[in-house]
Structure formats: C-alpha cells, structure tokens
C-alpha cells in the first residue's frame, strides 16, 4: 500500500518520488556544497546523489534520511520544502551547530533555496572571539547584520573601531566589512544575529 510522507507520495517499496531530487540539489547549492562534499557528509555516494538530483532514481526513506542529515536537516524538513505555504520548524537545540575555540553557533534558519536572511545564536566563552579560522567566510557584498546581546557583554570590532555592547543592546552594521565579536569579560556572552544578504545599495 502506498504511504504519504509529509506531502510526498511514496511507492509501495518505500521509495520517494523523483521530485525530492530537485530540492536536494537546490539545498546543496544553497549551502555551497559540491556533490563530493554532500557525499562525505551524508555517506551516500556522489554518483547516487547525482542520480537522485536528476530524477533518475528515487531514494528510499533511509537514504533520504542520510541525505537530510548531510544537509543538516531532519527528514521531515527535507520533505516539506516544496509544499505551498510551507512552514519549517526548527526546534530548540536542533539547529545546525558548529563550535570553535569557545565560540558556539546554532543556526536557527534552515538552508532553504533562495534564503536571503539567516538567524543564528552565538555563545562566547570568556576570552573567546568570532571570526576565527573555523568560522564561515565574510558575508556577500551588500549584506547587513543586526546583532542583539542577549546575555553578558560583547565588543564589536569593525573597520578599526570598537563598540562595547551590554545585554539588551543591539547593533546594525555592514557585514561585508571585516569584523568580529569579542568577549573580554569573565562571564559567558550570548548574541542573536540576523544577516540579510544584498540589501545595501550604496
């Protein structure tokens, strides 16, 4: 008997329709990943991924779950992305995470195709800074960032200037300039950051 999984009709053998491949490719490209990158992250071979993306084969639910994990999504998030008026919920603590030398980041927005704004939480241990070797590259030209200090204190260093921020303070700046945040206090700091791509005209 056919089953329905979050709007995707699957075959009796538990494979998904080829339409999922369109989303896989869009999400992979939105994250800047090559087929080889996604293969390493998911454990699904690059040739198989290529066939899925081109609609030449339909992945089983198990394979789709591995691909979703490689895209840092849950299976349900992957399969819901093409629904009309879709809603993608990221539960508390389930966002994509990375950590480097006292700087912990949780991405609160999934990597949807065409996404032009990203929301993330940054937690800085005492003495930690953002913008180090393990962090993503500078934002694209025209990007703007707004950061809110949720807890503790932080210092924004941008374009040679330092801006001291306390809990409740917010700052908006041109995110394509070299910048980083520092926590120079003896207590942890937490910031909520929103980056909007390509908004600045001049």
In this structure, whether the domain defined by 4-80 belongs to CATH 1.10.260.40 is answered with yes
- 96-196, CATH topology level: Jelly Rolls (2.60.120)
The pLDDT averaged over each successive group of 10 residues in the chain (202 residues) is 36 57 84 89 93 87 90 78 59 82 88 77 94 60 91 92 96 90 96 82 46
Predicted local confidence at residue 162, as pLDDT: 94
C-alpha–C-alpha distance, residues 95 and 93, integer Å? 6
Query: Three-state SS string across the chain, please?
Result: CCCEECCEEECCCCEECCCHHHHHHHHHHHCCCCHHHHHHHHCCCHHHHHHHHCCCCCCEHHHHHHHHHHCCCCHHHHHHCCCCCCCCCCCCCCCEEEEECCEEEEECCCCCCCCCEEEEEEEECCCCECCCCCCCCCCCCCCEEEEEEEECEEEEEECCEEEEEECCCEEEEECCCCEEEECCCCCCEEEEEEEECCCCCC
Predicted local confidence at residue 116, as pLDDT: 77
Q: Cβ atoms within 10 A of the Cβ of 86, count?
A: 12
Residue tagged 């917010």 (tokens): 170
Predicted local confidence at residue 160, as pLDDT: 80
- Break the chain into its structural domains and give their ranges: 4-80, 96-196
C-alpha–C-alpha distance, residues 20 and 114, integer Å? 17
Predicted local confidence at residue 1, as pLDDT: 28
Radius of gyration of the chain (CA): 20
Predicted local confidence at residue 18, as pLDDT: 62
Predicted local confidence at residue 7, as pLDDT: 39
Predicted local confidence at residue 50, as pLDDT: 92
């Amino acid at each position: 008997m056919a089953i329905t999984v979050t709007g995707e009709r699957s075959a009796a053998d538990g494979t998904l329709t080829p339409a999922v491949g369109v989303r896989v490719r869009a999400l992979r490209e939105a994250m800047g990943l090559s087929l080889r990158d996604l293969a390493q992250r998911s454990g699904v071979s690059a040739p198989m991924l290529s066939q899925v993306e081109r609609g030449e084969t339909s992945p089983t639910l198990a394979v789709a779950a591995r691909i979703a994990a490689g895209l840092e999504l849950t299976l349900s998030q992957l399969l819901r992305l093409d629904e009309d008026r879709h809603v993608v919920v990221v539960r508390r603590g389930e966002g994509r995470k990375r950590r480097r030398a006292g700087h912990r980041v949780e991405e609160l927005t999934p990597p949807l195709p065409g996404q032009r704004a990203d929301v993330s939480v940054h937690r800085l241990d005492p003495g930690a800074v953002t913008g180090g070797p393990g962090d993503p590259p500078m934002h694209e030209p025209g990007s703007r960032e707004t950061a809110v200090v949720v807890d503790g204190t932080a210092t924004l260093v941008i374009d040679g200037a330092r801006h001291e921020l306390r809990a409740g303070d917010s700052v908006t700046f041109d995110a394509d300039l070299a910048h980083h945040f520092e926590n120079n206090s003896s207590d942890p700091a937490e910031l909520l950051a929103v980056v909007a791509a390509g908004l600045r005209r001049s």
